[in-house]
Chains A and B, each alone.
Chain A
Amino acid sequence: MADVTFTVDGKKLTAPAGTLLIDACRTAGIEIPAFCYYPGLSLQAACRMCVVRIEKMPKLQTACTTPVAEGMVVQTETEEVKQSRKAVLELLLGNHPLDCPVCDAGGECELQDMTFKYGAGESKYIETKQHREEQKWSPVVYFDRPRCILCYRCVRVCGEGMDVWALGVQNRGVTSVIAPNGGDHLGCEECGMCIDICPVGALTSDTYRYKTRPWEMNHVGTVCTHCGDGCKTTLGVKRSNDGMEIVRGDNRDKSGINNDFLCIKGRYAFDFANRTDRLTTPLVRQADGKLAPVSWEEALTFAANKLNEVRSNRGGNAIGVIGSNRTTNEENYLLQKFARGVLGTNNIDHHRTADYAAFAAALKGKANREASLRDFISAPAMLLLGNDPTEQHPALAWQIRSNVRQNRARLYVANHREIKLRRQAKAAVELPQDGYASFISYLAGNDGAFTGNDANDFREALRKEESLVIAFGSEFRGRDIQALVEFGLSMPNVKFACLGDYSNSRGAADMGLLPDLLPGYVPVASEHKFAEETGIEWPKQPGLDLVQMLDAAGSGEIGALYVVGANPVARYGVDPSALKNTFLVVQDMFLTETAVLADVVFPAANAYEKAGTITNTYGDLQLVKKAADKAGVRSDFELIVRLADKMGADPKKLVPFGKGVRADFGQSRGAQSGEADRHAVWLSANHLEPKLSPFDPFAIFDEIQRLVPSYNVPRLNLLAGNDEHVKSELVQIDTTGSRRDLVLPANDGLYTSGTLGRYSDKLAEVLASKTTEIAETAAD
């Protein structure tokens, strides 16, 4: 729209016609107070805080509903305006319990802030206040009605934003009250958006309420460790008996790719960190067959000696390495470097939840074809093939809904299930479970490939799109991905997203946790730069994949397995007896089904307790920062270095610290103020330079950026806490031939998150409540 010029508080401003005055002012740095206005949600004009004086208008006007117009003259802070706002506050406070000293929101409450600014210090009434008892609406949501100012943000974010519609308004007039549409309970997706968006302390969460005061926490911006969407989150952490405890997660500053969205997992499922059964000392299996706590020295020496023994007696190929979907890129890179360079084997793999290698091959050499999660907020059209984002990629589902609602974007859904996002779809086609490949063939013009209701209209409409992002689930693998990308490229302006399941599944593949591919999808057999740069010998023969390794362990071909942050025994249903002759080293937070079989278990830190980078499934690279801490645990990075060191490898070769490192993730210094710098202590004891630590992942990030061209993205933005998209066109994969299909979708829903999720008590509680809810509905 054309720009218009108008005047606010004497300043000439310009904005596109139709812009709301409140937005135009905010863009120009003029703050207009607002309770009910919330960008992206429908307008309410209910709180009357945003009133301003506009020339030629008889009454004060609400800036949240007034579009700017040519020549408009506005005053935002006249005495009249200030008085009007003050009067609103006085009215609100009249019925408010004024329990700020114990309220969760105290110190970060919009009502407090406004009162501070406009003043409403005098009590004008002596009558009793409206009071209602606090209510618990779900395992996570509590409602304290007297604090509610009826801004309707919660109602809208639940309905418009989440498409859940669990909240409504009951009664009228002064007895109006926010209430669940389901009577006494929400029966919702438990995302906690309502709590987060509440400007006051009326909605509170079970995990955070009455736990702390906001100013007693440290706030650390990092990334959620659950699904593949990689939501940015700010963790509020507080000192505990044995470290720093996470007490809440939100993205209130709306930084990052998810705006203010977090699902239940990002918002509440950090409680695994504080479980009492968390491992905090190394364990070694004793002569009596039982695992017992031992010193770090003993455990490391024992593991190192055993691994050395297998390597020297039977060769590196008698050792297998299984990596993780949640460890950082630096850890993954280091792990494969350790496997290849120290253990001398390409037997390395991870639980693959999507065929990223096939995707990389399909996009090789094609610049700007991979969609960021950001693209789904703005794309004019979206095609969703397979997957159920509401369950598996909640942030993606949020972006898609927002895009449809706010920009009237068109969504096309083809799925074998009746997924919830069909409600937002302009067109939808139901496919047979194995019908995806033929449907793509049909879309590409092969009429005979697919018959089904609506398919023709779907294709006609889709073909008219001039700019499209395509997201596809793990229903697509290998050649099907190739065919899909080929079809897609026949349309103008297409981008693709391959949907995999965990926070760093993509990074695991990108960083070469694969038996045939090095970081950046460089074939192990090819001539590559890794050898010359690292001074390490890299084996050329492709190794065993994960399933082969497990089989080989069972048959005795593999003598030792090193498992980092993974639970293959549960995931692949391994018979425990099959591993009884394998020397098993496991790094984990808990005695998982795999760890319990191990000979050595190292207590590992989780993603919230370390620094590094991770890559979400869309290729958005982000910084992970150390927020929490737990006495006794070590990051996987540190554990790998220590193990290599004990095995006699040169840590300087493994981690090129001191070599052109330009910055530091903050890990080696202890992220929390006052925390003992135990890395530095260790370094001094080993006569190493304390400032350049072999445990500093930035040294490896440096190496990654040198050797993996797709990851050579501008660093400053990343360090500032923003996302950078990897350059997927620069991968060096061999695009001929096909690989064995090893994709095993995690099939997680909103309330599960693989093995890690099972250690979240909150998720377990919610999951149990959902099961009863379903049972009750069925009984109705």
Chain B
Amino acid sequence: MPKLVSHPDEVRIISRRFGTGAENIDKYVELDGYKAAQLCIEKGPEFIINEMKASGLRGRGGAGFPTGLKWSFVPKNVDRPKYVLVNGDESEPGTCKDHLIFLHDPHAIIEGTIIAGLAIGAKMGFIYLRGEYRYLLKIMEKAVADAYAKGYLGKNIFGSGIDFEVVTQTGAGAYEVGEESALMESLEGKRGVPRIKPPFPAVVGLYGGPTVINNAETIASVPHIFLMGGEAYAKVGSERNGGTRLFGISGHVEKPGVYELPMGYNLKKAIYEVAGGVLGGKKLKAVVPGGSSTPVLTADELDVGLDFDQMGKAGTMLGSGGIVVLDETVSMVEFALRTISFYQHESCGWCIPCREGTDWLKKTIGRVYAGGGVEKDLDNIKYLAENMMGRTFCPLGDAAAMPTIGFIKKFRHEFEEYVRGNAGVSPAEHDAALVSLG
């Protein structure tokens, strides 16, 4: 089990039960577990949605869509079955927060799922884990079985007359199935390729039924909203960004780890105070603030609040909350190559700009990195990425293009060094790196 970190600035809501043994259902109940679900059964869907809207909770999967609003989009009177879907595909490089929830507090996910189901009138929920999280499946499955045994899941939950089933499932190892509609395809046993939208999942989702899909952290936050009250939860965060969030701070910092900070917490403070500053007192070069798809920030751009709106204003995104800190020793060309290699490998291949674009970006950046680039390649990298932006079928194309544009705009001088042969890295090292990238 990975070591847990802590810092006094943390506000522990989601992580409150981490390390307490709450994966055990009795322990979970002792720590106020399943109280929120029972409250919600008593109060009914309208109350739930109002409270969710009041909480200001925004999706923790990356896009930050207001969760209460999303739930309210599900049509009330339809004869098709409705579903709740928990997105535990967590694959965005730099992100490792959902993983801790599954590990330490699986019942919070089950309880959140029940509440979402109550809100929209679903009788069934699916918890989808990324393929590489197979080892967490055991924990999740045990939690589900325990909840069934206690009568918290299945027929007549909590003696309420309401039925609710939960099924767990793992993916097969594709980043793209984290995208909500591709996840549904995958769950239905098909190729993990996204669907055309509209219709949106809230109307036509899993197996054609109206579906609410939320990130695991979003869902795990839900019970706490009802324990605290929506408004109180909202107050913890910043304007229009309620509550707290798990931020995974990694890279060249003294104390890497997952910290729960209130929304709007200052990025610079998070790096220099919470995570203990740059490793070995080196100079900070750049920060990737919210998972590898978010545009990079330079050392001068860090004085910004960690919420969806402030990060947007700063020209980047809050994304998945995975903050990667890069010190002065990092080659931004190599980092760009590493990033695009990931997206090239993970592109599902459905649409032309992403399928071909990620591949040519990887090849071109790879060649520049290996010393075979020319000046024109740098324009071409920018041209390729800009022609992918906003033109692909799903946001993975943007996720590949956005950071690339960021790297080439903000660190063009480094790319130029490579083109001119001044990068100071031996060709042998380049070759080895390229080989390892496959």
Residues of A within 8 A of B (CB): 43-48, 51, 58-60, 65, 83-84, 87-88, 91-92, 94-95, 124-127, 149-150, 169, 171-176
Contact = CB atoms under 8 A, between A and B. Distances in A.
B327 to A, nearest CB: 31
Contacts of B174: 172
B363 interface: yes
B344 A174 contact: yes
B215 interface: no
Given A84-B391, A91-B360, A127-B367, A173 B348 contact: yes
Interface stretch (B48-56, B150-158, B349-357): B349-357
A150 B353 CA distance: 12
B359 A48 contact: no
A87 B380 contact: no
Contacts of A173: 344-349, 355, 358-359
A92 B387 CA distance: 13
Please name the 9 residue pairs, one residue from A and one from B, whose CB atoms are nearest each other, closest first.
A176-B349, A87-B387, A91-B356, A174-B359, A173-B347, A59-B390, A127-B363, A173-B349, A46-B351
A169 B196 CA distance: 18
Contact of B351 (A47, A60, A94): A47
A48 B388 CA distance: 10
A126 B359 CA distance: 13
19 contacts: A46-B352, A48-B351, A48-B352, A48-B391, A59-B391, A83-B387, A87-B353, A87-B391, A88-B353, A91-B360, A94-B360, A124-B360, A150-B349, A171-B349, A172-B347, A175-B349, A176-B349, A176-B350, A176-B355
Contact of B196 (A47, A58, A65): A65
B347 A46 contact: no
Q: Kindly name the residue among B348, B352, B355 whose own CB sees the greatest number of chain A CB atoms within 10 A.
A: B352
Interface in B170-197: 174, 176, 191-192, 196
B130 to A, nearest CB: 16
B347 A125 contact: no
A59 B398 CA distance: 12
Contacts of B352: 46-48, 88, 91-92, 149-150
A737 to B, nearest CB: 57
B357 A125 contact: no
Contacts of A171: 349
Interface residues of B, number: 32
A319 B372 CA distance: 88
Nearest to A58: B390
A175 B346 CA distance: 11
Interface in B199-215: none
Given A91-B353, A176-B349, 13 more contacts: A48-B392, A59-B390, A84-B387, A87-B387, A91-B360, A124-B380, A172-B174, A172-B176, A173-B347, A174-B358, A174-B359, A176-B348, A176-B355
A26 B387 CA distance: 26
A88 to B, nearest CB: 5
A103 B348 CA distance: 29
Given A43-B196, A174-B349, A175-B349, A92 B363 contact: no
Nearest to A151: B352
Given A43-B196, A150-B349, A174 B390 contact: no
Contact of A169 (B191, B360, B380, B391): B191
A172 B349 contact: yes
B350 A46 contact: yes
Contacts, number: 93
Q: Kindly name the residue among A92, A150, A169, A174 whose own CB sees the greatest number of chain B CB atoms within 10 A.
A: A174
Q: Kindly name the residue among B344, B349, B390 whose own CB sees the greatest number of chain A CB atoms within 10 A.
A: B349
A124 B374 CA distance: 11
Interface in B141-177: 174, 176
Contact of B357 (A44, A84, A91, A127): A91
A59 B392 CA distance: 10
Interface of B: 174, 176, 191-192, 196, 344-353, 355-360, 363-364, 367, 380, 383-384, 387, 390-393
Contacts of A44: 196, 350
A714 B25 CA distance: 82
A84 B397 CA distance: 14
Given A91-B352, A150-B352, A173-B348, A45 B363 contact: no
B366 to A, nearest CB: 9
Contacts of B344: 173-174
B43 to A, nearest CB: 38
B391 A60 contact: yes
Contact of B356 (A60, A95, A126, A172): A95
A30 B356 CA distance: 28
B364 A125 contact: yes
A44 B392 CA distance: 12
A601 to B, nearest CB: 58
A44 B194 CA distance: 10
A616 B174 CA distance: 52
Contacts of A150: 349, 352, 355
Contacts of A92: 352, 356
Contacts of A127: 360, 363-364, 367
Nearest to A83: B387
Contacts of A51: 391
A173 B384 CA distance: 17
A171 B383 CA distance: 27
Contacts of A65: 196
B338 to A, nearest CB: 17
Nearest to A171: B349
A146 to B, nearest CB: 13
Contacts of A46: 350-352, 393
Contacts of B393: 45-46, 48
Contacts of A59: 390-391
A187 to B, nearest CB: 21
A149 B350 CA distance: 11
B329 to A, nearest CB: 29
A47 B355 CA distance: 10
Contacts of A91: 352-353, 356-357, 360
A45 B393 CA distance: 7
A757 B358 CA distance: 50
Nearest to A95: B356
Nearest to B390: A59
Contacts of B350: 44, 46, 176
A94 B309 CA distance: 39
Contact of A60 (B191, B347, B390): B390
A32 B356 CA distance: 22
Contacts of A60: 390-391
Contacts of B390: 58-60
Contacts of A58: 390
Contacts of B176: 172
A127 to B, nearest CB: 4
A253 to B, nearest CB: 27
Contacts of B345: 173
A51 B358 CA distance: 20
A669 to B, nearest CB: 49
A46 B193 CA distance: 11
B227 to A, nearest CB: 38
Contacts of A87: 353, 383-384, 387, 391
Nearest to B197: A65
A47 B350 CA distance: 8
A501 B351 CA distance: 44
Contact of A174 (B196, B356, B364, B384): B356
A126 B374 CA distance: 11
Contacts of B351: 45-48
B291 to A, nearest CB: 19
A632 B174 CA distance: 65
B356 A94 contact: yes
Nearest to B356: A91
Given A48-B352, A127-B363, A174 B347 contact: yes
A18 B115 CA distance: 36
Contacts of B360: 91, 94, 124-125, 127
